Amino acid sequence: MNDSVRSTGGEAAEPYVSVVIPHYNDLAALRNCVDLLERQTYPRDRFEIVIADNNSKCGLDAVRQAAPTAIVTSAPEQGAGPARNVGVSISSGELIALIDSDCQPDGEWLRRGVEALRSFDFAGGRVIATCRDERRPNAVEAFELVFAFNFKRYIEKAGFTGTGNMFVSRAVFEAVGPFRAGVSEDIDWSRRARAKGYRLGYAPLAIVRHPARREWHELRARWSRMLEERYLLQREQRFGRMRWAAAALITPASVIPHAWILVRSDRLPRLQNKVESIAVLVRLRVWRTGKMFLLLLRGAGRERRNFSEKQDHVQSYEG
Calpha distance 36→286 (Å, rounded): 39
Q: Which domains does the chain have, with CATH numbers?
A: 3-211 (3.90.550.10), 216-310 (no CATH)
Burial 261-271 (b: 16+ CB within 10 A, else e): ebeebebbeee
Handedness of CA 226, 300, 182, 198 (dihedral sign): positive
Give the residue from 48, 50, 61, 53 showing the smallest Cα distance to 83. Answer: 53
The pLDDT of residue 203 is above 80: yes
**Whose CA is closest to 132, among 215, 58, 26?**
215
Other C-beta atoms lying within 10 Å of the C-beta of residue 234: 22
Query: In which band, very low, low, confident or very high, does the pLDDT at 134 lie, cut at 50, 70 and 90?
Result: confident
Looking at residue 110, what DSSP letter applies?
A: H
Distance CA 279, CA 43 (A): 46
pLDDT given at position 267: 92
DSSP reduced 3-state for 68: coil
Q: Could you tell me the pTM of the whole model?
A: 0.86
Residue 32: which of 67, 75, 72, 63 has the closest Cα?
Answer: 67
Reported as a single tens digit per residue, the pLDDT across 9-33 is 445 689 999 999 999 999 999 999 9
Alpha carbon of 216 to those of 144, 204, 213, 280: distances in Å?
A: 11, 29, 8, 8
Q: What is the rounded CA–CA span in Å between residue 57 and residue 80? A: 16
Min mean pLDDT across 107-116, 163-172, 232-241, 273-282 is at: 232-241
CA dihedral 191, 193, 199, 204 (to 10 degrees): -70
- Structural contact between residues 210 and 101, judged by C-beta atoms closer than 8 angstroms: no
183: confidence class by pLDDT, cuts 50, 70, 90: confident
302: confidence class by pLDDT, cuts 50, 70, 90: low
Average pLDDT, the chain: 90
Residues 6+ apart with CB under 8 A from 184: 226, 229, 230, 232, 233, 319
C-alpha neighbours within 13 Å on the C-beta side of residue 256:
2
Res 312: pLDDT? 43
Question: Residue 239: is its pLDDT beyond 50?
Answer: yes
Average pLDDT over residues 201-230: 95
Give the least confident one: 4-13, 20-29, 56-65, 109-118: 4-13
Pairwise CA distance, residues 162 & 155, whole Å:
9
- Tell me: the pLDDT tens digits for 70-101? 999 999 999 999 999 999 999 999 999 999 99
- Residue with the bigger pLDDT between 318 and 83: it is 83
